[in-house]
Chains A and B, each alone.
Chain A
Amino acid sequence: MDRKREWRYLLEIVRYGLDGGDCPCSEEQPDWEYLYRVCKRHRIEGIVCSALEKMPAELHPPMEILEKFRYTWKVETGREAVQQFALEELLDAYEKAGVDCVLLKGILVKKFYPSPELRMMADLDILYRPRQGKRVNRILLSQGYVCDHTDDNHKVYFRKPFMNIEMHHRVVYEGHFSDYYKDIWKRVKLQEGKKHIYCMTWEDFYIYMMVHLVKHFQGGGSGIRSIIDIWQFTKVMKDRLDWKYIERELDKIKLNEFVRHMQKLCGIWFGGGQTTGFYDDLTEFIINSGIYGTVGNSHISRAIFSGDNQRKGINYRHFRATLRIVFLPYENMCKKYSWLKKYPVLLPAAWIYRIVHFCFKKKGKTTEVFGSTESERKKILERKELFDKLALPER
């Protein structure tokens, strides 16, 4: 079976796992080793397993692969139970301590799946008011979390064995959507019975899902799960949303066309819609991205979305993007070498150390990064064409 047919078959299985209907069938056995790897990269093993358990045995993968699917589904069920408890525990504490917070991303989107463990969630994403940061930190530390790292957007807390909490102090990174979300706290609503736990309206949540997807497309790419999220959410909510409001808001941030493409893609993947060359290319991009994108994609995106370099040609932007990988900006270098904060004048020395370290100690990674910069021109041009048709806005 060629890869495109295998992808179509996999998406049919996903559709069957979440929506029922006609059982997917194939006269030819797919390459199940490959399909399992795809499922693993996209963290959809649970969904596929739930479908396989309903399908006739002759359509099952080899037993050793089926057992892998089953095992992961069990693990995700356990993870879901732990995350449910941890979230309740944390929100109770926030409510009692008067900490305002907004629930984001997977915490909410999994409610639209037939069963919550089918929507794997690596971490809990919660927005808080920066002025309440100390209180947030105290509560998390009292519950046994440690602050793993901080960046421009959020602080990440970890508790063994696998609980990750991302406390966001803003909804989006600096860029195209910052202005749109600067008054987010005026647009959220309190959860029933709560004084401090907020959610976006469902219309705003739909818009946020799309904005978040754009952010990933503009970075390393995004996976199958993002499209499944849109499909599941829209399926449940389509008759309950104010679509005129959504269209007006999407127009403000120039996302109407992008959203139309995403909905069309859902229709093709899960609704039996007719595909085209463009949507085949988009499918290939998404499937090859994996759940969180790839280094290669990030590099290509950096060349495409180069801010004030937009007027320069692709060669120049490619060159600049390569330089940025080799000579990381000071802020990024400080995350890797904290002594630079005290001695910023040593930045050139830190660059040299990093280059030597990668050349001798991390040859594989160096090859991955620079290998991915070769043959780039054609890829950049092709990707730019895809992004232009998708009407992705500037970063």
Chain B
Amino acid sequence: MDTLIQLIISGALLGGVYALAALGLNLIFGVAKVINFAHGEFLMLGMYAGYWLMTLTGINPYYGAPFIAVAFFLLGAVFYLGIMRFTIYRPELTQVFVTLGLSIALQNLALMFWQADYRTIQTMPQGMSSLQLGGMHLPTDRVIAFGFAMVILIAVIIFLRKTFTGRAIEAVSQDLMAAQLMGINPQKIFVLTFGLGIAITGVAGGVLIPSFYAFPSVGTFFVLVAFVVVVLGGLGSVTGTIVGGLGLGIIETLGGYVAPDLKEALPFVLLILLLAIRPHGLLGIKGAEKETLK
């Protein structure tokens, strides 16, 4: 029984990280209908940001998260204004190739500047690496990352539902034409969405680095999982991302305990099953998977 509880807790902690890593991808898809194949590389950049922040200035990435958020918001805005703006009403294939190309370019730039070494940091002093709670071990860094994930996810939900700007974003995501007729400038919304999506991804990378490691192609380890989480939870649904992330984390951990050899296959089996039964995901809006901007 203890083992089961420990596994579920570990799974949930992992799931929180998955959700955070996937949120930016889903946000950008939900609003601009762009599938960002360079998502993993932005996560990689976030990890390096956390790493360099700690190594060069001694600022722990947990405290440095606001800086990373601001920097990555700007990066996201530049990403949109400099590249994606030109592809936004183009066929999906154009966007796929543009983001895929960017992904390869970013990986190789990282390799050029920072070499292939695995870089990681220790934020917790020796012996503080896990919290003990009634026989359970909770890895401190993952608990903090989970905390970040939950706070950010809830903040995003509140922002989208309760603020004027947030509702404007929602409006664009639901119906671009109608939103424009209501006087919403979609370009501004897109800049904001890309900024927000990339900022969240950067912070996700920053809080992941203490329990993980950065190297130029680390993004590829996460990007597939992020896609599974997004599709599982529902395209364009923030709540779905939480459910998808947590669900996937717990299932993967339990599955990995019972049949370790099949651990990596589980998410994809799940994905195939779900796509067959509910193509729009657990909490997604029906038809969201067919939507493109026109």
A and B physically associate:
no
Q: Footprint of B on A, CB under 8 Å?
A: none
